[in-house]
Structure 1
Amino acid sequence: MPTPGPGNDGLRPGLSADQVTPGFLGFAMTAFMVIAVVLLMVSMTRRIRRVRYRAQFSTSEQDSQAVSGNRVVTGASEPPISGAVPHGGS
């Protein structure tokens, strides 16, 4: 095995450093990462829309019940106590 030196970059004879590319494996890994990020972004967008829709639906449902005189009591509708730590989580 040739030893590294001032004129030897560890490349095959006849190759220069600007002619070396990552090849198919580098392309495949980059393509995989791009596809994975795009799929994660699409999934995240769907989940955010779903949460917003549910919050909007819940708010409109509570408003309609308040107008009709019915009151729904849930633990989530009460304001949190300042300084309180929720149970069951860490």
Structure 2
Amino acid sequence: MIGAWVSLTGAVLADDVVTPDPDTVTPGIIGFVVTFLVAIVTVLLIIDMVRRVRRVNYRDQVRQELEAELAAKNAAEGGSEGPGSGNAAENGEAAGR
């Protein structure tokens, strides 16, 4: 009995719902603002990502230049490695961590 009442009520309520015209429905101001904010956040994230990638590339370039200078210095000294001298990559990694 209760199940019949619920299904009857649901059917009556479903008939009373007015479906809006899909050609006149728009997201409105709220939809525009949300879309605009998502676009701004996306642009800011891309700018931040580009900065971080450039920073990593510059650090790698400087590390390679330092390794080349150290290798040239060791070659000019006759290739003798005294105490405290070593691979620049090892020194750079140890100092950087």
Into which bin does the TM-score normalised by the smaller protein fall? Answer: 0.5 to 0.7
- Cα distance in 2, alignment partners of residues 57 and 41 from structure 1: 24
CA RMSD of the aligned region, Å? 2.6
Instruction: Give the drift of 1:66.
Output: 1.1
For the pair shown, which has the larger CA radius of gyration, 1 or 2?
2
**2:13 matches 1:3:** yes
- Higher mean alpha-carbon deviation, 58-67 vs 36-45, is at 58-67
Q: What do the CA deviations read for 1:14-58 (whole angstroms, capped 9, x no partner)?
A: xx1211000000000000000000000000000000000001101
Structure 2, gaps ≥5 residues long: 1-11, 75-84
Give the alignment's TM-score, normalised by structure 1: 0.66
Structure with greater proportional helix content? 2
Report % sequence identity. 33
Which of structures 1 and 2 has the larger relative contact order (alpha carbons within 8 angstroms, sep 6+)? 2
Equivalent runs, 1:34-73 vs 2, <5 Å: 34-69=39-74, 71=86, 72=88, 73=90
- Cα distance in 2, alignment partners of residues 50 and 41 from structure 1: 14
- Cα distance in 1, alignment partners of residues 33 and 43 from structure 2: 15
Aligned length: 71
- Higher mean alpha-carbon deviation, 36-45 vs 62-71, is at 62-71
Equivalent runs, 1:10-49 vs 2, <5 Å: 11=20, 16-49=21-54
Give the alignment's TM-score, normalised by structure 2: 0.62
